[in-house]
Amino acid sequence: MTRPISNLATGLRAATLLAMLSATLGACTHPSQEVEIATGALPGDYRLRHPIVIQEASKTTEIFVGRQRGGLTSPQRADIIGLSQQWLREGTGAIIIETPVNTPNARMAADSAREVRALLTSAGIPPRGVIVRSYQPMDPRQFATVRVSYPRIMADAGPCGLWPDDLGPSIKNKSYLENREYHNFGCANQRNLAAMVDNPADLVQPRAETPSNSTRRTEAFEKYRKGTTTATDYPDADKAKLSETGK
């Protein structure tokens, strides 16, 4: 009768050792591995699918010229003056003035181009910074314009609107099955950000700090040494209030 009891005790000890060994091996599993197995592949980063690229591109302003009147209108003069100021700040090459030839408005366009060049020169652009040349439209009958352009550094992203996979459930749609972002996700945001940024270098590196206001800093230190408040007093601040509620 003692032998079966001994075999039973041996079996219980073996089962206990196996349970302890399994618990020990399970404790060695890293929590991140369990999360990865449960959730599958992580969604891709839209900034990697649609990166913002810094490159040199042309900025163009078109001047519409009629058949019977040459020169520039007041809004067109304002556009050229604004373009000259932008060129002084961001231009990386010469300003190119392109005039059409063999078109119904070719003579008037040449008159407008001469006025454009005169405005650019008066704005401080050196003569060697302006190049005038002609171009032949594909259709001579079309309404040709005077093109004023210059190269500059700009940010760009895209193109958007690419849909390699369907958005709905499908066995061929890897994005849907793996719960990932669809390919076009984030493209419009990247493209709009690239178009709105004033200085493309801000996307790459921070700007240098401007000099401190030494006059204001000295005044604040003097007030601090005297024990008075360093806040600025605005005596006319109450004059702009429309209501006395809350007093």
| pTM greater than 0.85 (yes/no) | no
pLDDT band at 40 (very low <50, low <70, confident <90, very high): very low
Q: Is the pLDDT reported for residue 186 higher than 50?
A: yes
- pLDDT for 14-31, tens place per residue? 556 556 655 554 444 444
Residues 110-123 have pLDDT tens digits of: 999 999 999 999 99
pLDDT of residue 171: 74
Domains, the chain, ranges and CATH? 46-51+158-196 (no CATH), 58-153 (3.30.1330.60)
Mean pLDDT rounded to a whole number for the chain: 80
pLDDT at position 231 = 81
pLDDT grade for 167, boundaries at 50, 70 and 90: confident
> Which comes out higher in pLDDT, residue 246 or 88?
88
pLDDT value for 240: 66
Mean pLDDT of 159-177: 77
Mean pLDDT of 30-46: 47
Q: Calculate what percentage of the chain has a pLDDT beyond 90.
A: 39
- Give pLDDT, residue 36: 36
In whole angstroms, what separates CA 37 from the centre of its chain? 36
Query: At a CB cut-off of 8 Å and minimum separation 6, what does 80 contact?
Result: 61, 63, 72, 116, 119, 120, 148
